[in-house]
């Protein structure tokens, strides 16, 4: 279909989650998606919502106004960014008074929000624009013997009134995308529960307990890997897995893959191009299983 | 930040600000505060409440309805919400619980009650446009990772758009966003 988007990286990904970006770009390019870099973008605004809702609205609107100048729809890898840009776009389109207030701030920098672009998270773009059919056709090494679990995270689903994507109580999109690779996606307790990331820095204890809860539920069903689609959730489960293991004196050893890494493997992209070496929890075992399994067939 | 219990002391009538709830209901996201009938769905479904001894969204909403302005705004507990929006989605009265809590946080921030982590992010946004200061090493490494260069930011333009925001006006006065 030759989809073309403006890619909005946000802050967390260039800061410390490069494996997600590397694998996403590889996979999207192979699927024929064209990504245009977004000049002069700033933080989506979400991190400032707790201290100033107004600042959040302005920061998001500034990004939307920049995208409008380019005349391209936005694609994000981070659900927090996608959720914020979607929500603010909807609010400002519907509320004329608020739009005028926010535009008065943007005017200080010569910008204006008009409400002419849409934002999609990569998962939404994969299912709605690129399509499962195209993805299935691109699979050359089906991951038939792999059993994984998924974690959607919150901001891709909630609040449903603003996000309007999938069913927040029983989401299916990520499962379907995982199953498109022929891997099995296992059910487990509290799948839609928060990873705890937003509480880091306020109470690490609470945050890590939430992540630990998920890891223990995932271990219970013997998942070989956990699949995420959010940089923050990934940090909680991958970067912090060792910390959680020490804190609770438990062993998990569950590799945490960004969905594009999983999809990339199934599309036959060499693992060394999918940044597995950037992961904190060693994923060699499943990468080996996938690549050697394919050779045997 | 230590967890403190917000409501163990008896409530005095002099603490109550009867107009507080209307002030909240006028703010974006706080409109439906008055609909809450204290069923407790928010607290029972809250993942943070499961592990915190003090964070109870229903209690925060009740304190706001009662008008316990200082008690709720000075409470550290307010900052524990993970903004997962489970409460908002499941509230039978359609109260945007997480948004009411965000409104309360905004009011607390105006008074200077903000955990350090948020101050750091605000300072970083003013300086670079990003919530985190992206290390030079990371930016340089992109080339070896076959990633395109990080687009050049425009922090000056970001600062211009934020200069009339109350929270950042405190910044200029005190040298850091909303200092304590």
- B152 and A159 within 8 Å at the Cβ level: the answer is no
**How much of chain A, in percent, has pLDDT values that exceed 70?**
98
Contacts of A12 in chain B (CB under 8 A): 131-132
Q: What is the pLDDT of residues B97-106, one digit of tens each?
A: 999 999 999 9
pLDDT for position A74: 98
A224 pLDDT more than 70: yes
Structurally, at CATH architecture level, domain A140-296 sits in: 3-Layer(aba) Sandwich (3.40)
Start-end ranges of CATH 3.40.50.11810 in chain A?
A: 140-296
The reply to whether B138 and B60 lie within a common domain is: no
The reply to whether B105 and B149 lie within a common domain is: no
3 state SS for chain A:
CCCEEEEECCCHHHHHCHHHHHHHHHHHHHCCCEEEECCCCCCCCHHHCCCCHHHHHHHHHHHHHHHHHHCCCEEECCHHHHHHHHHHHHHHHHCHHHHHHHHHHHHCCCCCCCCCCCEEEHHHHHHHHHCHHHHHHHCCCCCCCCEEEEECCCCCCCCHHHHCCCCCCCCCHHHHHHHCCCCEEECCCCCCCCCCHHHCCCCHHHHHHHHHHHHHHHHHCCCCEEEECCHHHHHHHHHCHHHHHHHHCCCCCCCEEEHHHHHHHHCCCCHHHCCHHHCCCCCHHHHHHHHHHHHHC
Structure confidence at residue B6 as a pLDDT band (50, 70, 90): low
pLDDT for position A292: 86
**How much of chain A, in percent, has pLDDT values that exceed 90?**
95
Q: What's the whole-number mean pLDDT along residues B2-22?
A: 81
B3 lies in some domain: no
B4 pLDDT more than 60: no
Structure confidence at residue B3 as a pLDDT band (50, 70, 90): low
Question: Measured between alpha carbons, how far is B96 from B90 in angstroms, rounded to an integer?
Answer: 9
Beta bridge partners, A74, equal A6, A119
- A111 and B106 within 8 Å at the Cβ level: the answer is no
CB A155 within 8 A of CB A79: yes
Q: Which two tokens stand for residue B147?
A: 């990633």
| Best mutation target, A34, A44, A48, to test chain B (most B CBs within 10 A) | A48
- CATH code for the domain in which residue B39 is found: 1.10.1060.10
Question: What angle in degrees, to the nearest 10, is found between the helix axes of A79-94 and A53-70?
Answer: 90
Q: What is the pLDDT of residues B115-154, one digit of tens each?
A: 999 999 999 999 999 999 999 999 999 999 999 999 999 9
Angle at alpha carbon of residue A118, lines to A117 and A120, rounded to 5°: 145
pLDDT for position B175: 46
The reply to whether B30 and B85 lie within a common domain is: yes
pLDDT for position A291: 87
Average pLDDT over all residues of chain A: 96
- B52 and A158 within 8 Å at the Cβ level: the answer is no
Question: What angle in degrees, to the nearest 10, is found between the helix axes of A96-107 and A79-94?
Answer: 110
Q: What is the pLDDT of residues A138-157, one digit of tens each?
A: 999 999 999 999 999 999 99
Looking at chain A, which residue has its C-alpha nearest residue B144? Answer: A22
The reply to whether B97 and B135 lie within a common domain is: no
The reply to whether B65 and B145 lie within a common domain is: no
CB A17 within 8 A of CB A235: yes
pLDDT for position A295: 56
B179 pLDDT more than 80: no
The reply to whether B88 and B168 lie within a common domain is: no
The reply to whether B89 and B121 lie within a common domain is: no
From A18's Cα to the closest Cα of chain B, the distance in A is 8
Q: What is the CA radius of gyration of chain B?
A: 19
The reply to whether B23 and B106 lie within a common domain is: yes
pLDDT for position A153: 92
Q: Which CATH number applies to A4-122? A: 1.20.1050.140
Q: What's the whole-number mean pLDDT along residues A23-32?
A: 98
pLDDT for position A129: 97
A25 pLDDT more than 50: yes
From B42's Cα to the closest Cα of chain A, the distance in A is 14
Nearest Cα residue to A254 out of A209, A286, A206, A291? A286
Question: Measured between alpha carbons, how far is B58 from B80 in angstroms, rounded to an integer?
Answer: 14
Contacts of A98 in chain B (CB under 8 A): 28
**Strand arrangement, sheet containing A225-228:** A184-186, A147-151, A225-228, A256-258
B5 pLDDT more than 70: no
Domain count for chain B: 2
B120 lies in some domain: yes
- B106 and A14 within 8 Å at the Cβ level: the answer is no
Question: Measured between alpha carbons, how far is A271 from A143 in angstroms, rounded to an integer?
Answer: 14
Could you say which of B110, B141, B161 is where a domain stops?
A: B110
B180 lies in some domain: no
Q: How many CA atoms lie within 13 A of B165 on its CB side?
A: 30
Question: Measured between alpha carbons, how far is A52 from A60 in angstroms, rounded to an integer?
Answer: 13
Structure confidence at residue B178 as a pLDDT band (50, 70, 90): very low
Could you say which of B110, B137, B157 is where a domain stops?
A: B110
B50 lies in some domain: yes
B166 lies in some domain: yes
CB A83 within 8 A of CB A155: yes
The reply to whether B82 and B138 lie within a common domain is: no
Start-end ranges of CATH 1.20.1050.140 in chain A?
A: 4-122
The reply to whether B105 and B123 lie within a common domain is: no
What is the ipTM score, two decimals?
0.92
Domain residue limits at B123: 116-173
B4 lies in some domain: no
pLDDT for position A294: 56
Q: What is the pLDDT of residues A229-288, one digit of tens each?
A: 999 999 999 999 999 999 999 999 999 999 999 999 999 999 999 999 999 999 999 999
Could you say which of B91, B110, B129 is where a domain stops?
A: B110
Contacts of B84 in chain A (CB under 8 A): 154, 158, 193-194, 198
Burial class (CB in 10 A: 0-12, 13-18, 19+), B144: exposed
B171 vs A204 pLDDT, higher one? A204
């Amino acid at each position: 279909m030759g989809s073309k988007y403006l890619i909005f990286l946000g802050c967390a990904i260039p800061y410390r989650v490069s494996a997600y970006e590397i694998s996403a770009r590889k996979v999207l390019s192979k699927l024929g998606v064209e990504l245009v870099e977004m000049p002069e973008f700033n933080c989506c605004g979400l991190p400032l919502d707790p201290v100033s809702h107004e600042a959040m609205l302005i920061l998001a609107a500034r990004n939307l106004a920049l995208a409008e100048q380019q005349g391209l729809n936005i694609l994000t890898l981070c659900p927090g960014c996608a959720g914020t840009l979607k929500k603010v776009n909807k609010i400002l389109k519907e509320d004329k008074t608020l739009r005028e207030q926010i535009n008065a701030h943007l005017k200080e920098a010569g910008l204006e929000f008009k409400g002419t672009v849409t934002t999609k998270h990569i998962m939404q773009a994969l299912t709605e624009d690129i399509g499962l059919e195209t993805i299935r056709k691109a699979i050359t090494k089906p991951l038939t013997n792999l059993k994984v679990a998924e974690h959607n995270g919150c901001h891709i689903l909630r609040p449903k009134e603003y996000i309007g994507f999938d069913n927040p109580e029983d989401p299916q999109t990520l499962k379907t995308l995982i199953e498109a690779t022929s891997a099995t996606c296992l059910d487990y307790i509290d799948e839609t529960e928060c990873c705890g990331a937003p509480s880091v820095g306020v109470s690490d204890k609470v945050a890590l307990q939430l992540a630990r809860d998920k890891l223990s539920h995932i271990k219970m069903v013997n998942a070989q890997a956990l699949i995420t689609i959010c940089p923050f959730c990934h940090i909680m489960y991958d970067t912090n897995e060792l910390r959680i293991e020490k804190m609770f004196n438990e062993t998990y050893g569950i590799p945490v893959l960004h969905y594009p890494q999983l999809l990339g493997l199934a599309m036959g992209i060499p693992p060394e191009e999918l940044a597995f070496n950037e992961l904190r929890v060693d994923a060699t075992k499943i990468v080996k299983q996938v690549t050697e399994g394919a050779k045997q067939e | 930040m230590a967890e403190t219990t917000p409501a163990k002391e008896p409530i005095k009538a002099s603490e109550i600000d009867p107009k507080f709830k209307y002030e909240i209901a006028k703010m974006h996201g706080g409109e439906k505060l008055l609909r809450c009938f204290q069923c407790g769905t928010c607290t029972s479904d809250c993942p943070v409440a499961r592990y915190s001894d003090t964070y109870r969204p229903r209690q925060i909403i009740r304190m706001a309805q009662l008008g316990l302005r200082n008690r709720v705004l000075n409470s550290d507990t307010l900052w524990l919400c993970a903004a997962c929006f489970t409460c908002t989605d499941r509230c039978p009265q359609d109260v945007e619980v997480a948004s009411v809590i965000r409104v309360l946080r905004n009011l607390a921030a105006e008074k200077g009650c903000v955990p350090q982590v948020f101050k750091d992010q605000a300072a970083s946004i003013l300086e670079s446009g990003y919530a985190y200061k992206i290390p030079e090493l990371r930016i340089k490494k992109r080339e070896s990772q076959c990633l395109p260069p990080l687009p050049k930011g425009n922090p000056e333009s970001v600062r211009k758009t934020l200069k009339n925001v109350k929270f950042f006006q405190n910044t200029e006065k005190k040298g850091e966003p909303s200092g304590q």
